Amino acid sequence: MGAGALTCLMFVVVALNAIAAAAGLALFAVAIWVAVDGYKLYPISGVSGKDDIFAAAWIAIFTGFAFFLTCIFGIFAALKRSRALMMVYLIIMFIIFLFECASAITAATNRDYLVGNSNLVKKQMLQYYGQDSIQGKQITQTWNRVMEQVECCGADSPEDWILYNSTFKQIYPTYNWPLSCCKRLSSFELQDPAGCKVGLTSTLFTKGCFNYIESVLSRYTWAVSWYGFSVLMLVFFTLVIAMIYFMQLE
Amino acid sequence: MLAVLFVLGMLCPLNFAEIEIRLLDPKIDGVLTSKFPNSFLLSLPNCSLYGDSSAELLYTELPSNENKTESFIVPSCPVSLPGFLLKNLKNGTTYNMQYKIAGVNDTSANLTTTTTNVIDYQQIDSGLPARSGAMVVITVILSVAMVALLIGLIISFLFSG
């Protein structure tokens, strides 16, 4: 390959590495957003032991930052036209690529377990809402907050509380559903306690909370797995060009 | 003939008027449901006709024929709660219900319904429902990319220089 073509290839490698470094840094930031869990829905995945979406986010934090550092090293190695440095760069990038693949696949698969349909969330709610254990308290707090903020009740509808038995029903047999399902005034008092207890639809939230929970967990998953996937495709393309450049170096 | 019928009709005392009894309908009465595992939500006797009178709900549990009575005061118009909640029933049992206004001997027809059954929450199948398309695409494409990179690395290390 002529010297001019080699220089051109070198610039392509440097440019792609610069873009990949920026993409890696953005992946680092997005994964931190997921790990911080601004919507505070971690107990719903943590209590059932299926919190791999958050584990994948932690992996993505490390691989995103590692991509950033290694791509800067790659720019340096390409400018120096050194075979040894390019070989080191290729091997390190490949290892980080494997870890990031694991993160993307884990997040996508785990989302299917958690929110593929409303069964797991509903069973967890019926089992742990109102229970006195640590998990029970976490689930109760999470569900109360979701029901009050999103204005919903139950997983699919308030009828979940009537169709199935639950820990809540055993502790409070006179209540059909939790008081967080009732509409409140701006002073936080219940609008109509007697009406809500009986099921008047004007005093009770009638939509289910599953749609909201599913949309939040999906948003976390798309951040880690789809954005991770797109960074990986960019890195794959960069590595293929880097390998061609490596083969042309003497 | 018509005049005779009219006169007879006017002489017919209100004593034989029937009180309406039915389960509340989610579409008409704005309630979530009227059949619970341990209670029923029934329509109240008309508030304009029977407001402030004391009434009784006689209900019979069907297999054992146990008779019970609930006494209450019919609320006057306008009503705050559109129904009467009959509590402390058993799940999956059929009940016969009838209203009776004290003193005037007005009764309603018999209403026969069954309370709902509860399903144990442990029976809910929370296994993997199905794999989404996104998961399959990501897994397949990334696996192919990993293998392609590995082969490319091997080729570039072996066949260079």
The amino acid that residue B126 corresponds to is S
Query: Is the pLDDT at B107 greater than 60, yes or no?
Result: yes
Of A51, A55, A59, nearest in space to A28 by CA: A59
In which residue ranges of chain A is pLDDT below 50?
none
Crossing angle of helices A119-128 and A83-115, in 10° steps, is 70
Over residues B41-65, the mean pLDDT reads 84
- Interface membership of B120 toward A (CB under 8 Å): yes
- Using a CB-CB cut-off of 8 Å, the residues of chain A touching B88 are none
- Using a CB-CB cut-off of 8 Å, the residues of chain B touching A112 are 128-132, 135
- Using a CB-CB cut-off of 8 Å, the residues of chain B touching A119 are 124-126, 129
**Which percentage of chain A shows pLDDT scores above 90?**
83
Query: Is the pLDDT at B18 greater than 80, yes or no?
Result: no
Per-residue model confidence (pLDDT) at position B9: 57
Write the CA distances from A138 to A125, A145, A156, integer angstroms: 11, 11, 21
User: Mean pLDDT of all residues in chain B?
Assistant: 83
Question: Helix or strand or coil: residue A179?
Answer: helix
Per-residue model confidence (pLDDT) at position B17: 61
Distance (Å) from the alpha carbon of B9 to chain A's nearest alpha carbon:
39
A60-93 confidence digits (pLDDT tens): 999 999 999 999 999 999 999 999 999 999 999 9
* Residue to test with chain B: of A164, A183, A219, A245, most B Cβ within 10 A: A164
pLDDT confidence tier of residue B21, bands split at 50, 70 and 90 = confident
Distance (Å) from the alpha carbon of B42 to chain A's nearest alpha carbon:
11
| Domain B17-115 CATH (choose: 3.30.465.10, 3.30.70.1070, 2.60.40.10, 3.30.390.30) | 2.60.40.10
Write the CA distances from A30 to A202, A223, A225, integer angstroms: 40, 7, 11
* For residue A173, cis peptide bond before it (omega within 30 degrees of 0): no
Tokens of A247: 């083969």
Cβ contacts of B113 within 8 Å, gap of 6 or more = B23, B35, B40, B94, B95, B97
Distance CA B125, CA A119 (A): 7
Distance CA A50, CA A217 (A): 12
- Interface membership of B48 toward A (CB under 8 Å): no
pLDDT confidence tier of residue B15, bands split at 50, 70 and 90 = very low
Q: Which of A93-97, B12-16, B50-54 has the highest mean pLDDT?
A: A93-97
Every domain of chain B and the residues it spans: 17-115
**Which percentage of chain B shows pLDDT scores above 70?**
90
Distance CA A183, CA A205 (A): 7
- Interface membership of B148 toward A (CB under 8 Å): yes
Per-residue model confidence (pLDDT) at position B7: 62
Distance (Å) from the alpha carbon of B130 to chain A's nearest alpha carbon:
7
A8-27 confidence digits (pLDDT tens): 999 999 999 999 999 999 99
Cβ pair B86, B70 in contact under 8 A: yes
Write the CA distances from A16 to A11, A85, A86, A236, integer angstroms: 9, 17, 14, 11
- Would you tell me how many other CB atoms lie within 10 Å of the CB of residue A195? 22
Write the CA distances from B108 to A146, B10, B22, B60, B126, integer angstroms: 44, 21, 10, 15, 46
- Using a CB-CB cut-off of 8 Å, the residues of chain B touching A87 are 157
Interface touch A236/B145, C-beta < 8 Å: yes
- Using a CB-CB cut-off of 8 Å, the residues of chain A touching B78 are none
Closest Cβ opposite residue B160 in set A105, A173, A247: A247
Q: Complex ipTM, two decimals?
A: 0.88
B76-101 confidence digits (pLDDT tens): 888 888 888 888 888 888 888 888 88
- Interface membership of B139 toward A (CB under 8 Å): yes
In chain B, whose CA is at the least distance from the CA of A86? B157
Query: Is the pLDDT at B55 greater than 90, yes or no?
Result: no
* Interface list for B 60-99 with A (CB within 8 A): 80-83, 85
- Would you tell me how many other CB atoms lie within 10 Å of the CB of residue B11? 7
In chain A, whose CA is at the least distance from the CA of B81? A195
Widest CA span in chain B = 121
Give the predicted TM-score (pTM) of the model. Answer: 0.87
Query: Is the pLDDT at B158 greater than 70, yes or no?
Result: yes
Closest Cβ opposite residue B156 in set A48, A198, A246: A246
Write the CA distances from A167 to A125, A129, A172, B39, B63, integer angstroms: 9, 7, 9, 19, 29
